[in-house]
Amino acid sequence: MNTQILVLSLRQLLGRRRTFALVALALLPLLVAVVFRTGNSDTDPVDWTANALLNGLIVTTLLPLVTLVLSTTSLGMEIEDGTIVYLLSKPLSRAQVIIAKLMASWVPAAWLVALSAALSGSIALQGSGESTLLLAFVIAAALGALAYSSLFLLLSLLTTRALVFGLIYVFIWEGIVTGLFSGTRTLSIREYTLGVADLLTGTDKFDAHLNGVTPLAFMAVVTTAFVALAIRRLNRFEARNLF
């Protein structure tokens, strides 16, 4: 991994407007948790936190949206303005470029989502003694962010409409198709993330359709495959791809 590319990419990605928008999005679960604590005394806090907050809001919405914005911009921004030509002209392996760009999008996404999950979950679970549940989701979200980032980074190399296709994957494929056809859940990063959380939690506080070490194995395989495909795609990238 090239440190200079990583630092430069982080500076480009974490501009004021983009950072402000992502932080505002990450604060939404905290607001929801505060509302829950003040107005739902009859609801089981563990059940609500696991299913409505961590599963329904953090993993289903916040995690894919944050990683989508950062990952499609990481290389997509340079492809769009043509500066990728100068990047590829440097004596660097394509693997170094991809890994640096992946880290630049994954690290802030993982920190932001994990911090949002930890803080909002702590508010909702106050006094419930379910730290294992919270820790499991924080770890699962960080790993899920890596898988999502590798997918969306690859999309940015395949199409100039990576954001659109990413939204289709998140809301159509994961949001609708996997709910209708159970066999498609093995092709869902969301299901892998929930499965990892279930594996680490070791309880039945929420429903995970993939159990055991299977989701962790799937996550590792698809992440490695997406990174390898991105490196191969960048190896074949030419200046004419910009037009």
pLDDT at 209: 79
The greatest distance separating any two alpha carbons of the chain, rounded to the nearest whole angstrom, comes to 62
Residues ≥6 apart with Cβ < 8 Å to 161: none
Q: Is the pLDDT of residue 204 over 90?
A: no
Average pLDDT, the chain: 86
Global confidence as pTM: 0.91
Statement: residue 243 has pLDDT above 70? no
pLDDT score, position 94: 83
- pLDDT number for residue 236: 78
pLDDT at 131 over 90: no
pLDDT at 242: 45
CB 110 within 8 A of CB 71: no
In three-state secondary structure terms, 203 is: coil
**Nearest Cα to Cα of residue 105 among 55, 56, 155:** 155
Q: How many CA atoms lie within 13 A of 241 on its CB side?
A: 18
pLDDT mean over 41-69: 90
| Rounded distance between C-alpha atoms, residue 170 and residue 45, angstroms | 27
Q: List CB contacts of 14: < 8 A, sequence separation 6 or more.
A: 108
The three state secondary structure string of 214-225 is HHHHHHHHHHHH
Cα 100 from chain centroid (whole Å): 17
In three-state secondary structure terms, 44 is coil
User: Using one digit for the tens of pLDDT, what is the confidence trace for 213-240?
Assistant: 999 999 999 999 999 999 998 887 654 4
Q: Which of 90, 200, 78, 185 is CA-nearest to residue 143?
A: 200
Query: Tens digit of pLDDT for each residue in 91-127?
Result: 778 888 899 999 999 999 999 999 999 999 999 888 6
Q: What is the pLDDT of residue 191?
A: 93
What was the pLDDT predicted at 238?
Answer: 55
